[in-house]
Amino acid sequence: MNLSYNWLKELVDLDLKPQELADKLTHAGCAIEEIVQVGDDWQLVAEVTTNRPDWLCHWGAAHEIAAILGKKTNLPEIKINETGPDVNSLAKVTNTAKDCCPRYTARVIKGVTIKESPEWLKKKLTAIGLRPINNVVDVTNYVLMEMNQPLHSFDYDLLEGSQINVRMANNGEVMEALDGTECKLNEKMLVIADGKKPVAIAGVMGGSSSEVTEKTKNILLESAYFEQKQVRRTSRALKLASDSSYRYERGIDPGNLERASARACQLILEVAGGELATGVIDDNPELGTPWDVTMRYCRCEKILGVRVEKDEIEKIFLGLGLQILNKTDDEITVKVPSFRQDLTREIDLIEEVIRVAGYDRVPETITMRVGMSHKTKAESAKDIVREVLAGLGYFECVTDTFVPEKWLEAFGCVGTPVRVLNPVNAKRPMLRTSMVPSLLEVARINREEEDVRLFEIARTYTGGGSNSETMQLAILDSRGLPFVRGALEEVVKNLRAEVELGYTEPENPPVMQDGSALLISFNKDTVGCMGVVKDEQAKMHDLRLSPAVCQVDFGKLAELPRLTKVYKPLPRFPAIGRDIALVVPEEVKWSRIEEIVRKDSENMESVIFQSVYRGKGIDAGKKSVAFGMTFRMADRSMTDDEGNKLRDDVVCRLTAAISQAALR
């Protein structure tokens, strides 16, 4: 938006230089990006935010400046001399698209003389970057930039039947716009038509068929309120834009139509002469009625953290064009004019107070305490479980709560399943009672992968009772049951749960292969099950191989008592490592070797399995087991000789305890 400095000086008594005024407006939120000198005037280029369309005109900017400086606006008085016949005898307006055009007004002026605009009018338009055309068109552009109300003047004699029809376009209609663009219209576009054809694209641009030219003697002046989305869609579809469409898209003042029309008539009579018909055609004069908003002083101070005096608040509101209706010691009530569509709540008034008074008045000291939010035991457990399973190569899933009914029939369910009466997806009318089918469906989508590892933490549902909704942990692994069991045990280990983890075979596993199903218990309390799904269930999800699954009650898992963390200080002295490769009979397990190594081992810190070798150099029925050991002393550094002696002691114990064991 381009603002004229001299024009603003006429509306508000200014004693600021252009740069000082620009700084004031920018500080209040209307950013002035550039100042350009145009003759003896200065053009202020403003970046107007979408929530403040009232700044897209000089009157709106004048209200802002008046509030900032604590002064009154000097808006021109609007007086019109209606000497012609009743406007309803000269024109007829029909509006069949009230949703897209809630209000439409029209006035008629006869006997105008189209000519060049007077110097003062051309000078003001030039100062804000507009090109003067003729006196009538220039007046409509002037009022647009003065009051933020788009207007359009039609050549009255070129309107078929002297009528205006506000309607949706007929599919296939064509109209030539003022800029020469041929517009192909459709039924989704709003047009202004005469008795036969479209003469303007509502809110975007007029048509050349009714353009005001030097031959024009009589005009019909339109001032209307068009719905924002409608104008935006049409403008984008036709790739046609104008100063009017720019403002309609952002929202104009619905209560300003008649006043802006009167202002334009006042100026047209002044610069073009003519006779103004009596009255105005207005199909919705009630639109744009002001509303009341109340602000409590104590609430204002609490929100801002600074006290703004009541007299200053009142002066700010008056400067912004608000009317004071009532004020007490506790609150103030104002009537908000329709050009401030953004002021509807108490908090909006509070924002206006500090915006005009200055954000620099808000103290920098923050008295509000800021602290870390407390995590519940369940939230903490979720974080640990996710980290552990992700570290083991599992991918977390988020699946749909709603499932097909056949899934429940195939997998059985505990309790009464819940059917949704009005489901979002008719194919998924049931709330899930198990997460296993959902994970199988994810596995189906990823069935081309050889190694599928999935988990999910979510709720399952059964009808009735206090336990109808429970949080569950489900794990799926295509590699088999030992991996699912290992993943669960790793979860329990990392939770540091003080629990006796137990497994028992169920009598009748509904969805698991015979011999694979296990019931899971915490301290002898059954909390879930695991196993390999039956082939028929796997085939239901188009799976070639049946994966192993596990589901446990996550709520009970999260509530398990946890062992206290014990932290050890960092060691002061370096460690010594020794590796051993031991040849042992094939039947000897690593757990047996580790047990012997750790037993009675002085200063041993860790034992880590490395590898198993079978092949050349190793007799049949035997294997070579390699492992590493770390030794450390707490009070001093260990010598190589001491490390070698500890290694030799381990070898002696191994060869003595395991028959046929020998150092490789």
- Regarding whether 311 and 459 lie in a shared domain, the answer is no
CA atoms within 13 A on the CB side of 278: 5
Let me know if residue 640 belongs to a domain.
yes
- Regarding whether 533 and 402 lie in a shared domain, the answer is yes
Q: At what angle do helices 243-250 and 228-238 cross, to 10 degrees?
A: 140
**Which structure tokens are listed for 241?**
């834009």
Of 361, 386, 407, the position where a domain reaches its end is: 361
Segments in 454-533 forming alpha helices (H):
481-494
- The average confidence (pLDDT) of the chain is 91
Percent of the chain with pLDDT over 90: 70
Collect all residues with Cβ–Cβ distance below 8 Å to 463 and sequence separation of at least 6: 415, 416, 417, 418
CATH code at position 134: 3.50.40.10
> Which residue, 218, 282, 283, 269, is CA-closest to 83?
269
Q: How far apart are CA 113 and CA 116, in angstroms?
A: 10
- Regarding whether 410 and 317 lie in a shared domain, the answer is no
566 burial type by CB count under 10 A (0-12 exposed, 13-18 middle, 19+ buried): exposed
DSSP for 440-490 reads HHHHHHTTT-S--EEEEEEEEE-BSSTTSEEEEEEEEETT-HHHHHHHHHH
Beta bridge partners, 604, equal: 631
- Regarding whether 534 and 462 lie in a shared domain, the answer is yes
Let me know if residue 620 belongs to a domain.
yes
Provide the pLDDT for residue 30.
87
- Regarding whether 303 and 269 lie in a shared domain, the answer is no
Let me know if residue 648 belongs to a domain.
yes
Rounded mean pLDDT of 490-505?
Answer: 90
> Three-class SS string for 338-356?
CCCCCCCCHHHHHHHHHHH
Of 326, 361, 396, the position where a domain reaches its end is: 361
Let me know if residue 306 belongs to a domain.
yes
CATH code at position 457: 3.30.930.10
Provide the pLDDT for residue 575.
93
- Regarding whether 588 and 545 lie in a shared domain, the answer is no
- Regarding whether 125 and 94 lie in a shared domain, the answer is yes
- Regarding whether 526 and 456 lie in a shared domain, the answer is yes
Better pLDDT: 365 or 437: 437
**Which structure tokens are listed for 561?**
């008592």
Percent of the chain with pLDDT over 70: 97
- Residue 499: band (very low, low, confident or very high) from pLDDT cuts 50, 70, 90: confident
Let me know if residue 565 belongs to a domain.
no
Please write the tens of the pLDDT for every residue from 421-436: 888 888 899 898 888 9
Q: For residues 594 and 609, is the Cβ–Cβ distance under 8 A?
A: yes
CATH code at position 594: 3.30.70.380
CATH code at position 54: 3.30.56.10
Predicted TM-score (pTM) of this structure: 0.59
- Regarding whether 278 and 298 lie in a shared domain, the answer is no
Q: How far apart are CA 298 and CA 315, in angstroms?
A: 18
> Which residue, 378, 413, 425, is CA-closest to 562?
378
H or E element in which residue 387 lies: helix 377-391
Residue 328 has pLDDT above 60, yes or no: yes
Residue 509 has pLDDT above 80, yes or no: no
- Regarding whether 536 and 435 lie in a shared domain, the answer is yes
Let me know if residue 614 belongs to a domain.
yes
Of 225, 247, 282, the position where a domain reaches its end is: 282
- Regarding whether 476 and 526 lie in a shared domain, the answer is yes
Let me know if residue 563 belongs to a domain.
no
Domain that holds residue 503: 377-558
Provide the pLDDT for residue 550.
93
Segments in 49-134 forming alpha helices (H):
58-69, 119-127
Please write the tens of the pLDDT for every residue from 68-114: 888 888 999 999 999 999 999 999 999 999 999 999 999 999 999 99
Name the residue with tokens 């008046």: 66
**Which structure tokens are listed for 14?**
């200014």
H or E element in which residue 4 lies: strand 2-4
Q: How far apart are CA 638 and CA 384, in angstroms?
A: 37
- Regarding whether 446 and 423 lie in a shared domain, the answer is yes
Specify the number of domains making up the chain. 5
Interstrand relation of 402-403 and 430-431 (parallel, antiparallel or unpaired): antiparallel
∠ CA(471), CA(474), CA(477), 5° rounding? 170
Q: How far apart are CA 533 and CA 549, in angstroms?
A: 7
Let me know if residue 75 belongs to a domain.
no
